[in-house]
């Protein structure tokens, strides 16, 4: 099979084979992925308990539903490209990708999807177990569950594009750890991963609306849980679309600049 689809299928096959090579690392990584939202869920349940059962209109069951949905959404949209790019550039591995008549982003997308194909069923099981333990209060409406799927796809594209563009910082500084750390802390807070965005104090809530992070996690979660009205949902889709478009435009310009800058460190 020729064309881009052939590349994706073969890259997929390779990524699957590679993922199976590192089963132990994958298992540890999965445990971390489940533990993080579980921790926030326990903390917020305790806070709700101490406040007579509710915080900002959310009870224990609401928090359980929120963090279990977040576990799934966060897993689907997760990328590791910011670490990967640094490694590639520092070790000169990017050179081989640049010698080929195909943009390296395709391999990144295929590798991401391949890895998710293996890990998602495990995360789904973990979410099921958490649901049995914490008894989430799910009250979704049918339209919002339907709208959730495209919002999840857009959240993935947005987060992938955003983190891929930020990863390009590795072309200018070979030590990108500080950039990554700053990004992850900001994203953790403003995407709704530490607390539902509805609970943020108003200046923070305002920031969460103008930053892109909410649209990568908090928005699809709120849609799935039926916490948005159709007007808010539409606004969310438009915001996702606008951010993706804007980031793709920036990516085009930055990629060209990055290539000029590339001096093949250590290769």
Partner 1 sequence: MTAIRVRELRKQYRVSEREAGLWSSVKSLVRRKTRTVSAVDGISFDIAPGEIVGFLGPNGAGKTTTLKMLSGLLHPSSGEIEVLGQVPWKRHADFLGRMSLVMGQRNQLVWDIPAVETFELNRAIYRIPMAQYRETLDELVDLLDLKAVMGAPVRNLSLGERMKCELTAALLHRPKVVFLDEPTIGLDVTMQRRLRDFISQYRRVHGATVLLTSHYMADVEALCRRVIVIHRGRLLFDGDLGALVGRFAAHKLISIHLATPCAGLAQYGELVSDEEGHVTLRVPKAETPRVTARLLAELPITDLTVEDPPIDEVISRVFTEGAV
Q: Contact positions toward partner 1, by CB under 8 A? A: 1-3, 6-7, 9-11, 13-14, 17-18, 21, 92, 95-96, 98-102, 259-260, 262-264, 267
- What's the min distance (Å) between Cβ of 80 and partner 1? 17
Write out the two tokens for 117. Answer: 């194909």
Tokens describing residue 205:
């809530």
Smallest gap from Cβ 25 to partner 1, in A, equals 12
CB of 4 to partner 1, least distance (A): 8
The least CB distance from residue 79 to partner 1, in Å, is 20
Of residues 120, 153, 123, the one with CA closest to residue 223: 153
- Closer to partner 1 by Cβ: residue 62 or 108: 108
Instruction: Give 51 or 174: the residue with its C-beta nearer to partner 1.
Output: 174
Query: Which secondary structure element, helix H or strand E, spans residue 58, and what is its range?
Result: strand 58-59
| Complex with partner 1: residue 47 or 251, whichever CB lies closer | 251
Give long-range contacts, CB 8 A cutoff, 24+ apart: 79-84. 79/112, 79/159, 79/160, 79/163, 79/164, 81/108, 81/112, 81/160, 81/163, 81/164, 81/167, 82/163, 82/166, 82/167, 82/170, 82/176, 82/179, 82/180, 82/183, 83/180, 84/108, 84/167
CB of 103 vs partner 1, minimal distance in Å? 10
Cβ nearer to partner 1, comparing 112 with 216:
112
Beta bridge partners of 55: 58
Please report how close the Cβ of residue 23 comes to partner 1 at its closest, in angstroms.
12
Nearer to partner 1, 19 or 74 (CB): 19
Q: Which of 245, 60, 99, 82 is nearest to 173 (CA)?
A: 82
Q: What is the DSSP string of 180-212?
A: HHHHHHHHHHHTTSSS-GGGS-HHHHHHHHHSS
CB of 106 to partner 1, least distance (A): 9
Whichever of 65 and 114 has its CB closer to partner 1, that residue is 114
Cross-strand partners of 54: 59
**Nearer to partner 1 by C-beta: 17 or 178?**
17
């Amino acid at each position: 099979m020729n064309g881009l689809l052939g590349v994706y299928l073969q890259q997929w096959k390779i990524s699957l084979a590679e993922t199976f090579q590192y089963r132990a690392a994958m298992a540890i990584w999965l445990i971390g992925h489940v533990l993080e939202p579980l921790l926030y869920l326990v903390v917020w349940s305790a806070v709700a308990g101490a406040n007579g059962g509710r915080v900002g209109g959310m009870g224990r069951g609401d928090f359980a539903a929120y963090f279990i949905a977040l576990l799934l959404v966060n897993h689907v949209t997760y990328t590791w490209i910011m670490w990967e790019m640094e490694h590639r550039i520092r070790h000169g591995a990017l050179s081989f990708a640049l010698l080929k008549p195909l943009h390296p982003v395709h391999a990144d997308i295929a590798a991401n999807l391949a890895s998710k194909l293996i890990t998602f069923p495990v995360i789904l099981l973990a979410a099921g177990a958490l649901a049995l333990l914490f008894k989430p209060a799910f009250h979704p409406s049918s339209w919002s569950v339907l709208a959730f799927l495209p919002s999840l796809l857009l959240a993935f594209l947005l987060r992938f594009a955003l983190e891929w563009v930020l990863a390009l910082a590795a072309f200018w500084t070979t030590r990108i750890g500080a950039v990554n750390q700053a990004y992850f802390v900001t994203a953790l807070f403003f995407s709704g991963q530490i607390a539902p965005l509805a609970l943020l104090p108003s200046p923070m809530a305002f920031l969460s609306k103008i930053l892109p992070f909410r649209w990568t996690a908090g928005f699809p979660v709120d849609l799935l849980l039926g916490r948005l009205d159709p007007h808010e949902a539409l606004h969310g889709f438009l915001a996702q679309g606008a951010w993706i478009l804007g980031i793709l435009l920036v990516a085009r310009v930055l990629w060209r600049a990055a290539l000029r800058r590339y001096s093949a460190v250590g290769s």
